[in-house]
Every structure is written in structure tokens, then in C-alpha cells.
Amino acid sequence: MIAMENVYKTYPNGVTAINGIDVTIDQGEFVYIVGPSGAGKSTFIKLMFREEVPTKGNIVINNRNLAKMKWKEVPLLRRDIGVVYQDFKLLPKLTVYENVAFALEVIEETPRNIRRRVMQVLDQVGLKNKARFIPDELSGGEQQRVAIARAIVNHPKLLIADEPTGNLDPETSWEIMRILEEINASGTTIIMATHSKEIVNTIKKRVIAIEGGLIVRDEHRGEYGYEI
């Protein structure tokens, strides 16, 4: 479902963040992206939902060629991709319910079906009883669960998570991982950049290590492989 072929990304300031990457990721995989700071992990991830455009090479996601994609086609691509960030990025003035409903593509849906779907995903992340809260009234782990609910409300085939546990304590991080594993078990591909040695070495998945804009290691049930 994801294929990168000879991909390069050089930023306008001349920094080459991705330096010739070839990789394929199948539907339903769970992949950790690891590597030192500045290695190119965030850029690698941003290329997948066209937050950045490759300087060279081909990227195919869900049968769409991102390198040839026109700007007006980008929203269609992103409908199939959920994204979760380290700092949650919730809308602070909206309630939990509204934050999730807002992301729902409301194409010819009845208000009743919209409500049903929003409550269904809030239930999935264990926050049905906090639908009327605003983000400030929630713990960090709860805010991340809202962000996950928002990311999956449109049933994306791919969920991208950029250090989703980076701001959370260990116990809360394991809760988030349990939710991500459940989402993966239902068939959604998950790509997760992380600096957590504990998580990668405990919940074994495919590990892709990036250094200097290149894939230096790609292992099934791999190890984190760095000291911090």
C-alpha cells in the first residue's frame, strides 16, 4: 500500500533530509521508525501525507502517486490517512465531541449517523463519558486518545503517528500503545516514529532505522538499537 522508490527530499535551505530511500510497506503492517534526532524521520513521515513534496523519486500510497499529485487531489489522499502528533494538536475551544466531529467528512451523512460514529470512536478510546469536556480539562493521555479518535473517525487505511507517546509518562504510553495495537488489529496500517526503547523492545514490530536520510536497518520484530 506504500511504496517509495529512490526518494530524495532537499529543503529550500539546501538541507537534504531524505537521501535516496526505497521501501514498501504492506496493508496491515505496524512499523516503528527509529533513529537519532535530525535523521529524517519526520520528513519521511511528512512525505507520506504530502505535508512535504519529494524533490526526486516516486511515492505511491493507496494506489495514488504523490509525486504527480495535484494540490486539489491532496484532501482526497488525506481522507485515507489519519495523523497523530506528539503535542496532540487539538482545537482548544472545542469539546472532545466537537474535536472528533470536526474531522469527520460529513458527506451526505445524517446528524444521527454522525453522532453515532463520533460516540463509537470515543467509546473505542475509552472517552465516551468525557465528550463534553474541553482539552484543558483532560490529562495528557486523554488528550492523545482524543487525537487518536479524531485520526480514525473516517476509517483511514493508514494511521501515521509522530512520537505519539513523546509527551506522556510510561504508564499512559502503554495505554496509548494498547489502543494503537487494537486499531492495527482491525486492519489499519500503522507507522509510528518513536524514541521509546522500552516500547520498541517490548511490543515487537517491524523496525525501520533512518540515519542521515537513509534506511540503515529494516527488520521484522526488530530492536530499538540505540541507547536513548
Nearer to ligand ADP, 40 or 54 (CB): 40
Residue 95 to residue 140: CA distance in whole angstroms: 15
Ramachandran bin of 122, using left for φ above 0, alpha for ψ from -120 to 50, beta for the remaining angles: alpha
* For ligand ADP, the closer CB: 10 or 58: 10
CB of 183 to ligand ADP, least distance (A): 22
The CB-of-62 to ligand ADP minimum distance in angstroms stands at 23
Please identify the residue of the shown chain whose CB is closest to the bound ligand ADP. 139
Q: Which of 136, 97, 137 lies closest to 120, judged by CA?
A: 97
Least distance in angstroms from the C-beta of 112 to ligand ADP: 27
Of 43 and 124, which CB lies nearer to ligand ADP in the complex structure? Answer: 43
Q: Which is nearer to ligand ADP, 14 or 111 (CB)?
A: 14
| Residue with smaller CB distance to ligand ADP, 28 or 126 | 126
Residue 109 CB, nearest distance to ligand ADP (Å)?
29
To the nearest 10°, report the CA torsion of 65, 82, 206, 165.
140
- Lay out the sheet containing 64-65: strands in order across: 16-25, 2-10, 56-61, 64-65
Is residue 114 a contact partner of residue 101, using CB atoms and an 8 Å limit? Answer: yes
3-state helix, strand, coil in the chain (%, to 5): 35, 25, 40
Q: Is residue 24 within 8 Å of 2, Cβ to Cβ?
A: yes
Give me the residues that bind ligand ADP (CB under 6 A), please: 11, 13, 15, 17, 35, 37-43, 137-142
Smallest separation, CB 160 to ligand ADP (Å): 13
